[in-house]
Amino acid sequence: MNEFEQAEERRKRQREEIKQKRIRQLRRRMTISGCILLCIIIALAAFAVNVAKKKKLAAEQKKQLEQEIAQMNESLNDCYNTFLTDNGVSAEKSDVTAFTKWLEKNYSEEMDDLFSVYQKNKKITAQDIYDSFGATLHVLSDTYEGKLKDEATAAKNHIYEKKAAENGTVQITAAGDLCLEEDGYVLDYYDTVNDLSKCISKTILDQTNAADIFFLNHEYCISDRGTPLEDKYYVFRAKPERMKLLEQMGTDIVSIANNHIYDYGADAMDDTIDLLDQAKITHVGGGTNLDEAKQPTYYIINGIKIGFVAASEGEQYKFTPEATDSTTGILTSYDTTEYNQVIADASKECDYLIAYVHWGTEDEDMYNSTQTEHGKEFLKSGADIVIGGHPHVLQGIEYTEDGPIVYSLGDFWFNDETKYTGLLNLEITSEGLKQMSFTPCEQKDSQTQYLNNAESQRALFDHLQEISPNITIDDTGVITELKDVDAES
């Protein structure tokens, strides 16, 4: 083989080597591509399987969620049905379900909060509802029924909504007897100084104005009309312009169930009611007819509904008439039957009911057996606390198995006599009375002043403890029950 042929042979071998090399490269590329494709196929298959699993899981979770929501709604239905039953309302299941659906439609965020609670506790309570909605079942039910549609509608239902400084509680302050008689000591003194803060100390006025609800006994009429009742020794009437004093005190609601509201007859009592209405100060215990006299008043504050009712049984000689179907007067409780029914009905409409009663013996700091008997009746009928007045002096406080009886808050601002008085303070939550306390005051020389001396405060607290069967009062005025005392309950 010559050199040319040898060279040609080498070129052929080189070309073959290059060809084989390219074939090997191509095979490697195809193998890699195949692997990549296979990986892609496997990944897609895995993805598809995963998607299917996720869809299945999502469907299962959705089904479980729907089941839990249905279970929560059923628990909510049970809670609402129990609420209705406890308040004497018989409801069809469809009515209960409609309430729950209404909540879902109008309170989606609150229902989400409630669901979180249900997932944790597997049940719904009335307190859970308040914590989630910021309103009790009484308030939510009133809203559902349209009673709170607007301010005018609420007022027709004797319901008044107020804003509070603190969330979650209602601060109620109650005072004793107020008497603004034109020829009396307190107005004579007021007209001399022409400044309410010189008659009632600023500390007291600050507290009564700061309270969410300030309540007192309105023991006089306000009018330019009427004539004094014949043969009645003490009669009390103020001019209409004196209404400003009630407003300056921060008064929200008064009882007119007492023995002096009718001192100048029906016209003067009617004028008093009209003037209170004009000042947007509500009243209980009296009216232009019996239905008005029996009518409770309700306040909604921080989603909690507070009720007030009042009656009188304080006259030895009955000058003040009981209201009838067509005549002006007061609600009385000498026979407790009617007032017990008023209390029972009102208690079904609110979260906390305050029953005021004008009773007892004047100028006696020891309450009598009739007060105790009637007070316990009123508590058993549904009142959460009974607050009394009329004796003109402080009387004791008794805790019973159904709640406290505050027998008399004495005179708040009445005359020139020197005597202990004060303010009863109630802190109410959605679960009831959280704390009760007493602000120590003294009426003297036609003024009512806060006792700011610790020794004087302690003396008043000790006096109140001594005339009470089972309470203790600490140095800040907080009242608690002495549960180890062997007192009749």
Number of neighbours of residue 308 by Cβ within 10 angstroms? 29
Number of neighbours of residue 285 by Cβ within 10 angstroms? 32
Calculate mean pLDDT across residues 328-348: 99
Check whether residue 408 and residue 328 sit in a common domain: yes
Check whether residue 164 and residue 129 sit in a common domain: no
Determine the pLDDT at residue 488: 45
Q: Are 420 and 442 in contact (CB under 8 A)?
A: yes
More confident residue, 28 or 373: 373
Check whether residue 165 and residue 112 sit in a common domain: no
What percent of the chain has a predicted confidence (pLDDT) above 90?
81
Determine the pLDDT at residue 487: 45
CA distance 483 to 313: 30
Residue 146 located in a structural domain:
no
Check whether residue 20 and residue 167 sit in a common domain: no
Residue 439 has pLDDT above 80, yes or no: yes
Quote the radius of gyration of the chain (alpha carbons, Å): 38
Determine the pLDDT at residue 58: 66
Q: Give residue 56's pLDDT band: very low, low, confident or very high (50, 70, 90).
A: low
Specify the range with the lowest mean pLDDT, choosing from 58-62, 74-78, 324-328, 398-402: 58-62
Domain count, the chain: 2
More confident residue, 71 or 66: 71
Ramachandran angles phi, psi of 305, nearest 5°: -105, 120
Residue 150 located in a structural domain:
no
Check whether residue 98 and residue 169 sit in a common domain: no
Check whether residue 319 and residue 265 sit in a common domain: yes
Residue 149 located in a structural domain:
no
Determine the pLDDT at residue 486: 57
Number of neighbours of residue 272 by Cβ within 10 angstroms? 27
Check whether residue 235 and residue 350 sit in a common domain: yes
Calculate mean pLDDT across residues 144-154: 97
Calculate mean pLDDT across residues 93-107: 92
Residue 267 located in a structural domain:
yes
Examine the fold and report which residue of 133, 149, 181 is the final residue of a domain before the chain moves on. Answer: 133
CA distance 409 to 359: 11
Q: Are 423 and 175 in contact (CB under 8 A)?
A: yes
Residue 148 located in a structural domain:
no
Check whether residue 125 and residue 248 sit in a common domain: no
Check whether residue 124 and residue 175 sit in a common domain: no
Check whether residue 120 and residue 198 sit in a common domain: no
CA distance 204 to 207: 5
Examine the fold and report which residue of 114, 133, 152 is the final residue of a domain before the chain moves on. Answer: 133
Q: Give residue 447's pLDDT band: very low, low, confident or very high (50, 70, 90).
A: very high
Specify the range with the lowest mean pLDDT, choosing from 24-33, 157-166, 190-199, 265-274: 24-33
The pTM (predicted TM-score) of the whole model is 0.89
CATH number of domain containing 206: 3.60.21.10
Query: 437: closest CA among 472, 401, 400?
Result: 472
- DSSP bridge partners of 218: 178
Q: Which domain holds residue 462?
A: 160-481
Check whether residue 404 and residue 269 sit in a common domain: yes
Residue 111 located in a structural domain:
yes
Determine the pLDDT at residue 15: 79
DSSP for 212-261, written as a single string: SEEEEEE-SEE-S---PPTT-S---EE-GGGHHHHHHTT--EEE--SSST
